[in-house]
Structure 1
Amino acid sequence: MRITSIETIRVAEFANLVWVRLTTDEGLTGIGETYFGPDATEAHIHGVVAPYLLGKDPRDINTHTDYMLGYLGRTGSSAEQRGRSATDIALWDLLGKSLGVPLYQLFGGKVRDRLPIYNTCANMNYNTKPAASHSTFDYGTGQGPARFDDTDAFLKRPVELAGSLLDMGITGMKIWPFDFLGSDVVDGNISTAGLRKGVAAFREIRKAYGDKIDLMCEMHAFWNLPSARRIIEALAEFEPSWVEDPVPLDQMSSLAALQASTPVLIGTGETLGGIGAYKSLIDAKGCGLVIYDVSWSGGIGNARKVAAMAEAAHLPVAFHDCTGPVVLAASTHLALATRNCFTQEIARAYYFTWYRDLVTDLPPVENGTITVSGKPGLGLELSPDLFKREDVKVKCSILE
């Protein structure tokens, strides 16, 4: 079996996403996905990955992953790493299809049949538009179907939002009200007034629903160390399951100091790239929950290594999804086969709207849990209708 073509597929409506499709001389295809910096990522795939991978046997994933690491071992969540990650996902998809088994079987099988989900309370336009500087302040709240405008809801109607999720059987929600404090934030410092505004949603939800719903706070690494500590201390009375990315990940010592100062779990890691960065995070005791993004941090093979490192350190791991449907499928296969994974993230504003337009199948969600089908590989393909869109762009490298 040889790889005969490597395509990148993009659509203007979801401009941050890039899909990779590998095709073999036996007619099998494998799908991968990544997001952010699509131009540079696409250029790396066709300029560096394709010249190497074309003509190779796609089943030799370990060899290919080592090669794609690149000269001097490029790391971080760079364009090189994102291109490598998307290609790695496609290679694993191809391997599963070539053997006629779902991805989780390649990892030794499932340790559970279904996994609880939590909802990241984004709106359907969140993360889809390119920008020079990604900021929460311009993510289009108040747009799209009112039922799933969850960002607007957590800012204005947090109790109603929590009730809506519970009605669907979803018992976990992640929100980020501190991002929207505007003038109450100066250079990573939070004011007392801003602190009170930020905790208000957590207070209202706990008052209405008690411990019927798990709460998480996304902090998007906006904060300096003293302000992050103040926020976490203020949230502690509401018993969040974790707080996420409280400070930038460039200083493991800051994360370690923060985690040592609070019993509240810090979840972090999705923007790290390569297993070495995760080892540094775990060795520094910089978190209580390791979070991994399959499309940013090195793909599926690295995800399994990171999960094993976390398990050896007695830490749980969770796989990120606020990205695209292929990443959700890959993450769910991993989550179901990973003993120290206890939940899977979804964004219902994506899952129940545009995810369904892009792929043929999604991991089934029912009564607040998620699973996968028994179909080979990831269990999905890009929708044929995707290629009929006027805004689709396909670039192809072919074995000559």
Structure 2
Amino acid sequence: MSKVRCVRTIRIAERPNLIWVEVETDEGLTGLGETFRGAQAVEAVIHEQVAPWLIGRDSRRIEPVSRHLMNPYVGFQSSGAEIRAASAIDLALWDLAGKRHGIPVHEALGGATRTEIRTYNTCAGYAYNSGAGRRSIGSGDAATGPYDDQIAFTRDPAGLAESLLAEGFTAMKIWPFDPYAEASGGQMIGLSDLNAGLEPFRKIRAAVGDRMDIMCELHSLWSASAALRICQGLEDLDIFWVEDPIGKMADFKALADLRRRIRVPICGSETLGGAVSFRQLLEADATDIVMLDLAWCGGLTEGRKIAALAEAHAKPLAPHDCTGPVTLMAGLHLALHAPTAIFQEVVRATLATWYRDLVTDLPTVVNGMVRAPDKPGLGTDLLPEVRHRDDAVVREAGDPL
């Protein structure tokens, strides 16, 4: 047997969106999971609904646990608190599975298709996503280190591209249109704002030519008509993809209509939850690249189903990371396993700083490629000192080791 004996949640005030879950079994193993956004809501779901049901059950039966947790009476096919909680638990159970058998998760999934995968740098800064929302850059903001890349793409996109190339990155993602959405609630974008948003892409192309692939992130801020204008403006700049262009990425009809009218590939969507949503996205022929976040979509159990759907529809797969280190490790294992995966997203600012303050191991990036972890399970654990921080909130259910 491998009964669950304890479920523990840990969060820290410094990173209020992040929450970790540790699942302990009677064989003396601990699995680590994670999710992001609404940490307190997820904590409540885990302790009020999940832990009382999960404790005493066989941790090896990952699929039945997933099927139960992914089907709350309300909230399925979403990325709500119930599904984020299910995602974190699922990641912990896969971590346990790998540790139990002494193999990395990508091997537990059925084996790696590749031993390394290409990465791109999401050009966020050190404080991005740390608070209630995304950080916006003001005229008085100053870079706080060499990897404050959001400030860099706002003020010196050409220099940023050269910096990334010097470190071996050959792909980057930026979001210069975001500041212009608020004025109209994303309903329209004027020509002057459109040109201002296009300028960083033009400067990068002029500086580095075809040595850099560039992705445009639109953060689901725009109406379909405004997204159409932005995408059409990007068409001559050889953009690799435009990500989450419309405000409701679950409106697959509107997304498919947009895709038919533009010549830039669409990537979507980290915001969707569950395999059914991705099946509907693909059946609508509404995306060119499938992006998923394993801490939001249902974990690796749903993630591998989504990867299979992408493969069946001959679509590339690109796991998301701009949230936490455990999700990054989980995404990497799926990207190594899934046949159509083309990228694993990273943020060099977080890899170089606060991710290292939280976990024991992080992915190794060499010449723009991320290498396969070789440790059992997800290949990382929460540093022991995290739970003892003054700003830590730790809750336990069951009988801890």
| Shorter-chain TM band | over 0.9
Which secondary structure state, in structure 1, belongs to the residue aligned with residue 229 of structure 2?
A: helix
In the alignment, is residue 149 of structure 1 matched against residue 139 of structure 2?
A: no
Residue 293 of structure 1 corresponds to: 293
Task: Measure the CA separation in 2 of the matches of 1:215 and 1:350.
Answer: 20
Deviating runs (4+, > 6 A) in structure 1? Answer: 138-141
1:227-276 per-residue CA deviation (whole Å, 9 max, x = no partner) reads: 11111111111111000011021311110001111231100111111111
Is the Cα contact below 8 Å between 2:128 and 2:134 reproduced in 1?
Answer: no
Distance 1:359 1:135, change over 3 A: closer
Residue 177 of structure 2 corresponds to: 178
Residue 219 of structure 1 corresponds to: 218
1:343-367 per-residue CA deviation (whole Å, 9 max, x = no partner) reads: 1100111111100110001111112
* Greater shift in the superposed pair: 135-144 or 331-340: 135-144
2:158 partner letter: V
2:86 partner letter: R
Task: Measure the CA separation in 2 of the matches of 1:67 and 1:39.
Answer: 22
Distance 1:292 1:141, change over 3 A: farther
Is the Cα contact below 8 Å between 1:54 and 1:399 reproduced in 2?
Answer: no
2:129 partner letter: N
Task: Measure the CA separation in 2 of the matches of 1:63 and 1:139.
Answer: 48
Which secondary structure state, in structure 1, belongs to the residue aligned with residue 66 of structure 2?
A: helix
Which secondary structure state, in structure 1, belongs to the residue aligned with residue 146 of structure 2?
A: helix
2:388 partner letter: K
Is the Cα contact below 8 Å between 2:8 and 2:396 reproduced in 1?
Answer: yes
1:340-355 aligned within 5 A: 340-355=340-355
In the alignment, is residue 88 of structure 1 matched against residue 90 of structure 2?
A: yes
- Cα drift, residue 388 of structure 1: 3.1
1:38-117 aligned within 5 A: 38-72=39-73, 74-75=75-76, 76-117=78-119
Residue 21 of structure 1 corresponds to: 22
Is the Cα contact below 8 Å between 1:360 and 1:382 reproduced in 2?
Answer: yes
Is the Cα contact below 8 Å between 1:265 and 1:287 reproduced in 2?
Answer: yes
In the alignment, is residue 375 of structure 1 matched against residue 371 of structure 2?
A: no
Is the Cα contact below 8 Å between 1:232 and 1:264 reproduced in 2?
Answer: yes
Task: Measure the CA separation in 2 of the matches of 1:38 and 1:139.
Answer: 28
Task: Measure the CA separation in 2 of the matches of 1:139 and 1:338.
Answer: 40
1:82 partner letter: R
2:387 partner letter: F
Residue 309 of structure 1 corresponds to: 309
1:3-22 aligned within 5 A: 3-22=4-23
Which secondary structure state, in structure 2, belongs to the residue aligned with residue 257 of structure 1?
A: helix
Task: Measure the CA separation in 1 of the matches of 2:168 and 2:140.
Answer: 24
Residue 195 of structure 1 corresponds to: 194
- Cα drift, residue 142 of structure 1: 3.7
Task: Measure the CA separation in 2 of the matches of 1:47 and 1:301.
Answer: 23
1:126 partner letter: Y
Task: Measure the CA separation in 1 of the matches of 2:366 and 2:102.
Answer: 26
2:116 partner letter: R
Is the Cα contact below 8 Å between 1:125 and 1:140 reproduced in 2?
Answer: no
Task: Measure the CA separation in 2 of the matches of 1:128 and 1:334.
Answer: 25
Task: Measure the CA separation in 2 of the matches of 1:71 and 1:312.
Answer: 28
Superposition TM-score, scaled by structure 1 size? 0.96
Is the Cα contact below 8 Å between 1:184 and 1:191 reproduced in 2?
Answer: no
What are the ranges of 5 or more consecutive residues in structure 1 without an aligned counterpart?
none
2:102 partner letter: G
Superposition TM-score, scaled by structure 2 size? 0.96
Is the Cα contact below 8 Å between 2:129 and 2:135 reproduced in 1?
Answer: no
- Cα drift, residue 128 of structure 1: 1.5
2:164 partner letter: L
- Cα drift, residue 78 of structure 1: 0.2
What are the ranges of 5 or more consecutive residues in structure 2 without an aligned counterpart?
none
Is the Cα contact below 8 Å between 2:19 and 2:34 reproduced in 1?
Answer: yes
Which secondary structure state, in structure 2, belongs to the residue aligned with residue 197 of structure 1?
A: helix
1:77-108 per-residue CA deviation (whole Å, 9 max, x = no partner) reads: 10000000000000000011011111011122
* Count of equivalent residues: 397
Which secondary structure state, in structure 1, belongs to the residue aligned with residue 5 of structure 2?
A: strand
* Greater shift in the superposed pair: 259-268 or 198-207: 259-268
Which secondary structure state, in structure 2, belongs to the residue aligned with residue 18 of structure 1?
A: strand
